[in-house]
Amino acid sequence: MRAPPQTVTELRSALRRGEITSVAATQAMLDRIVALDNELKSYLTITDELALEQAAAADRRRAQGEDGALLGVPIAVKDIICVAGAPTTAGSKILDGFIPPYDAFVVQKLKEVGAVILGKTNTDEFAMGSSTENSAYFITRNPWDLEHVPGGSSGGSAAAVAAELAYGALGTDTGGSVRQPASFCGVVGLRPTYGRISRWGVVAFASSLDQVGTFGRTVADATALFQAIAGYDRRDSTSLNVPVPDYAAALTGDIRGLRVGVPAEYFVSGIEPEVETAVRAAIAKLEELGAEIHPITLPHTRYALPVYYLIAPAEASANLGRYDGVRYGPRVEGADMIDTVKKTRALFGPEVKRRIMLGTYALSAGYYDAYYGRALKVRTLIKQDFLNAFAQVDVIACPTSPTTAFKVGERADDPISMYLADIFTLSVNLSASCGLSVPCGFDSKGLPIGLQLIGNALQEATILNAAYAYEQATGWHQEKPRIGRG
């Protein structure tokens, strides 16, 4: 018997040649979810009926001669993105039972190209976290070692893709939530430029930082998903009305002459030696492939964490004001209106409450200028660092995260150590650059390590091609996690 297709690219060829139908491929994924997801816990909701209907529709479209990169391909969607008729919880009890009557822009786009939606994946509550332990429902496990976290907040999507419970997935990345779990789970995760994709229908966390991103087991797969969802939409005034290039065509694998910057500030104490070794070896590989390596400096790097943890909670505190027991989800009746709002808002989990308090404080009269206002100014300095760097280089290469996946529970009670998991990813969001994580090896425990490649605004094609060249020359993506292999 022929092995089932492993990637979006392989599935597409098999569908095209008539070796498999989308209904069969979808059923195989659903069976695998039933067999493995009790342990892994990557999905919050499985939309099996919807998936099989979409698969049958995709097979009919194919029979009529249609062919597209995602036609009939089963994928997963982070549960912070609205899919009409399916629960959308954002990992929170405060949205328990909320069923959006509409599709997010990105889901509309996926449906247009005939992708099949298997279900909604687990996330830290309102995407606040780096381990998926802040989900109000359950913790997702890392498919390489179930004792370890998958990263977060899009940990469900990363784990599902790594464990082959979906061919690809959507996540969101406000400070690292696509790249960091991609790194922890050994898959590719792309965080596109702010505004590259309309966020209409995506539950808001921090509106000046949020963006949808894609996961794939290969660079080509993450690119195929990105191609399908990129674009402007008048319902999101921050989305950019610029043409969407042919990203797949940009994957030539030729990086001769590419200028790669290596920031001194990203190789400092606190980074695990095995991570540093793997990332430096990856950079040497890029050089071997014809890239030029340049030392660069991003001098304001050490302010990224405090700046992010002022701006993101401030914006979150404003965005989360809408959950009052009237407009969405459950309501806990109290003695009067204020009491009802108080009791309902007690449904937020501890991390969300912490952020609302921090954010409200940073925005309050008398503190606004000292905290939020200053954070915005330092954010401009961070952005300027990146603009200066991109005057000299095309791509910045560094680790995605200072460590590999930590153990479940290890950082759960220590918010600062949890925040440090995103130390290398936050600046991409603050500077409105784009970034991705591509597998670049394993530590001695067998846990994946990710190489982060950062590009200037709208230069996704450049970083995707650099990652593609690296992937083709190394083959880390062919390694498989233990789960489901006896």
Active-site residue, selected from the candidate residues 177, 239, 431, 437 = 177
CB of 95 to ligand GLN, least distance (A): 16
Residue nearer to ligand GLN on the CB measure, 205 or 247? 205
Interior/surface letters 453-481, b for 16+ CB within 10 angstroms, e for the rest: bbbbbbbbbbbbbbbbbbbeebebbeebb
Q: In sequence order, what DSSP letters do the residues of 116-133 get, joined into one string?
A: EEEEEE--SGGG--SSST
Chain Cα centroid distance, residue 168: 11
Tokens of 310: 């002022």
Is 22 annotated in the active site? no
Q: How many residues bind ligand GLN (CB under 6 A)?
A: 14
Tokens of 155: 């940990």
Confirm or reject binding of residue 103 to ligand GLN (CB under 6 A). no
72: nearest Cα among 11, 108, 13, 22: 22
Residue nearer to ligand GLN on the CB measure, 46 or 80? 80
Confirm or reject binding of residue 176 to ligand GLN (CB under 6 A). yes
Residues 420-459 that bind ligand GLN (CB under 6 A): 422
Binding mask 264-303 vs ligand GLN (x if CB under 6 A, - otherwise)?
Answer: ----------------------------------------
CA distance 78 to 153: 9
3 state SS of 440: strand
CB of 152 to ligand GLN, least distance (A): 7
Interior/surface letters 208-220, b for 16+ CB within 10 angstroms, e for the rest: bbbbbbbbbbbbb
Confirm or reject binding of residue 155 to ligand GLN (CB under 6 A). no
Confirm or reject binding of residue 261 to ligand GLN (CB under 6 A). no
CB of 468 to ligand GLN, least distance (A): 24
Residue nearer to ligand GLN on the CB measure, 176 or 455? 176
Segment interacting with ligand GLN (CB under 6 A) among 93-101, 167-175, 247-255, 291-299: 167-175
Binding mask 387-426 vs ligand GLN (x if CB under 6 A, - otherwise)?
Answer: -----------------------------------x----
Give burial (CB, 10 Å; 0-12/13-18/19+) of 63. Answer: exposed
Confirm or reject binding of residue 130 to ligand GLN (CB under 6 A). yes
CA distance 194 to 137: 29
CA distance 329 to 126: 14
Pairing of strands 43-46, 116-121: antiparallel
CB of 154 to ligand GLN, least distance (A): 7
User: Measured between alpha carbons, how far is residue 320 from residues 126, 337, 356 in Å?
Assistant: 9, 18, 8
Is 427 annotated in the active site? no
Active-site residue, selected from the candidate residues 22, 42, 78, 401 = 78
Helices and strands, counts by H and E, the chain: 16, 11
Instruction: Name beta bridge partners: 407.
Output: 148
Confirm or reject binding of residue 173 to ligand GLN (CB under 6 A). yes
Residue selected from 23, 107, 110, 128 as contacting ligand GLN according to rule CB under 6 A: 128
Evaluate whether 185 touches 144 at the Cβ level (below 8 Å): yes
Confirm or reject binding of residue 225 to ligand GLN (CB under 6 A). no
Tokens of 25: 């491929």
Segment interacting with ligand GLN (CB under 6 A) among 39-47, 82-90, 125-133, 332-340: 125-133
Helix (H) or strand (E) holding 37: helix 22-40
Confirm or reject binding of residue 91 to ligand GLN (CB under 6 A). no
Binding mask 305-334 vs ligand GLN (x if CB under 6 A, - otherwise)?
Answer: -------x----------------------
Is 78 annotated in the active site? yes
Confirm or reject binding of residue 156 to ligand GLN (CB under 6 A). no
122 Cβ partners below 8 Å, 6+ apart?
41, 42, 43, 44, 79, 91, 132, 135, 137, 138, 140, 155, 156
Residue selected from 114, 143, 168, 175 as contacting ligand GLN according to rule CB under 6 A: 175
Residue selected from 45, 88, 122, 177 as contacting ligand GLN according to rule CB under 6 A: 177
Segment interacting with ligand GLN (CB under 6 A) among 112-120, 122-130, 290-298, 367-375: 122-130
Question: Which spans of this chain sit near ligand GLN (rule: CB under 6 A)?
Answer: 127-130, 153, 172-177, 205, 312, 422
Question: Which positions are annotated as active-site residues?
Answer: 78, 153, 177
